[in-house]
């Protein structure tokens, strides 16, 4: 039986790991390479590196850090941030990424998904979606959660899966940074239309939130979080021990 994955997310800017609360107020945490090694040694099942750099200098630094991480960490690496073209896919895959996550790039040009899936396989293409309720409807937000695209989120996900997205990261802006638990209602709606792995993101504050997630929605494949792992509020070995105790398939 496939195990439920626990995925720390590292937002990287100018070579350092940062984490925003509700996408604002960035705080420096640690060296990405050291943090990645730490997580890999402590039971993380996968890592997400998110490049939040805007400058080309920063981008170069990011690929250097990615290369160094991939040379030292032997679990799957997903890379996102600033992925707009297949050349961007190529750039990060050459540095040792296993999967590439697209968000705004796919909103601007949905064909990017089809093209990348054809070149690198569905399993390589991760669709990341920032979703927020607007008047009771799940809407897709772009630009790091700042801009309402007006697109209905569930339909957008269905369309992207049809084009070859092999995995979906559902990031609920409504619960992100609040630490009150994952957005179960939103995730359930996504699970109903997505026959590819679904990764829950946004809202985890404690171990119990992950247990509730996997027990309530068995179709969710993974839980992703950032600051609670970075600041040690949730320790991955403890989390996984509790998951195993709750009979959730877990890699120990």
Partner 1 sequence: MIAIVDYGVGNLFSLKSSFAAIGVGAMVTNDPMVLCGADKIILPGVGAFEDAARKLRESGLDVVIKQLAADGKPLMGICLGMQMLFEKSFEYGEHEGLGLIKGAVKPIADVIPEDLKIPHIGWNALKFKGDSPLFSKIREGDCVYFVHSFYAADCEESVIATAEYGAELTAAVAKDNVYGCQFHPEKSGAVGLNILRAFAEL
CA quadruple 65, 67, 73, 79: dihedral sign: positive
Among candidate residues 45, 51, 88, 130, the one labeled active-site is 130
Residue 72 in the binding site for partner 1 (CB under 8 A): yes
> What does the angle CA 68 – CA 37 – CA 63 come to, to the nearest 5 degrees?
25
**98 φ/ψ angles, rounded to the nearest 5 degrees:** -100, -35
Evaluate whether 203 touches 209 at the Cβ level (below 8 Å). yes
Identity of the residue, 22 or 72, whose beta carbon is nearer to partner 1 in the bound complex: 72
Nearest to 104 by CA among 148, 68, 41, 65: 148
Identity of the residue, 28 or 64, whose beta carbon is nearer to partner 1 in the bound complex: 64
Which of 51, 88, 130, 167 is the binder for partner 1 (CB under 8 A)?
167
> Smallest distance, Å, CB 188 to partner 1?
16
> Smallest distance, Å, CB 40 to partner 1?
6
> Smallest distance, Å, CB 108 to partner 1?
26
Which of 1, 87, 111, 136 is the binder for partner 1 (CB under 8 A)?
1
> What does the angle CA 33 – CA 39 – CA 42 come to, to the nearest 5 degrees?
140
How would DSSP label each residue in 24-48? EEEEE---HHHHHHHHHHTT-S-EE
Query: Which residues between 128 and 157 bind partner 1 (CB under 8 A)?
Result: none
Residue 233 in the binding site for partner 1 (CB under 8 A): no
The answer to whether 11 is a known catalytic residue is: yes
The answer to whether 174 is a known catalytic residue is: no
**114 φ/ψ angles, rounded to the nearest 5 degrees:** -60, -45
Interaction site with partner 1 (CB under 8 A)? 1-3, 5, 40, 45, 67, 70-72, 74-76, 93-96, 98, 120-123, 166-167, 195-197, 221-222, 251
């Amino acid at each position: 039986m496939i195990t439920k994955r626990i995925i720390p997310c590292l937002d990287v800017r100018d070579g350092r790991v940062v984490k925003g609360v509700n996408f604002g107020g960035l705080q420096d945490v640690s060296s990405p390479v050291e943090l990645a090694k730490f997580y890999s040694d402590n039971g993380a099942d996968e890592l997400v590196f998110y490049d939040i750099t805007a400058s080309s200098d920063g981008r170069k630094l990011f690929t250097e850090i990615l290369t160094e991480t991939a040379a030292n960490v032997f679990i799957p690496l997903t890379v996102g941030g600033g992925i707009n073209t297949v050349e961007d896919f190529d750039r990060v895959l050459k540095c040792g990424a296993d999967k590439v996550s697209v968000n705004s790039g796919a909103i601007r040009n949905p064909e990017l998904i089809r093209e990348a899936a054809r070149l690198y396989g569905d399993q390589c293409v991760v669709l990341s979606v920032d979703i927020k309720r607007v008047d009771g409807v799940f809407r897709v937000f772009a630009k790091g959660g700042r801009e309402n695209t007006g697109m209905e989120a569930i339909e957008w996900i269905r369309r992207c899966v049809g084009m070859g997205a092999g995995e979906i990261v559902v990031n609920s802006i409504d619960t992100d940074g609040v630490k009150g638990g994952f957005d179960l209602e939103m995730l359930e709606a996504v699970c109903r239309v997505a026959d590819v792995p679904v990764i829950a993101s946004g809202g985890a504050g404690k171990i119990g939130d992950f247990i509730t997630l996997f027990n309530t929605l068995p179709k969710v494949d993974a839980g992703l979080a950032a600051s609670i792992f970075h600041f040690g509020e949730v320790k991955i070995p403890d989390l996984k021990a509790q998951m195993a105790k709750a009979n959730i398939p877990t890699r120990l």
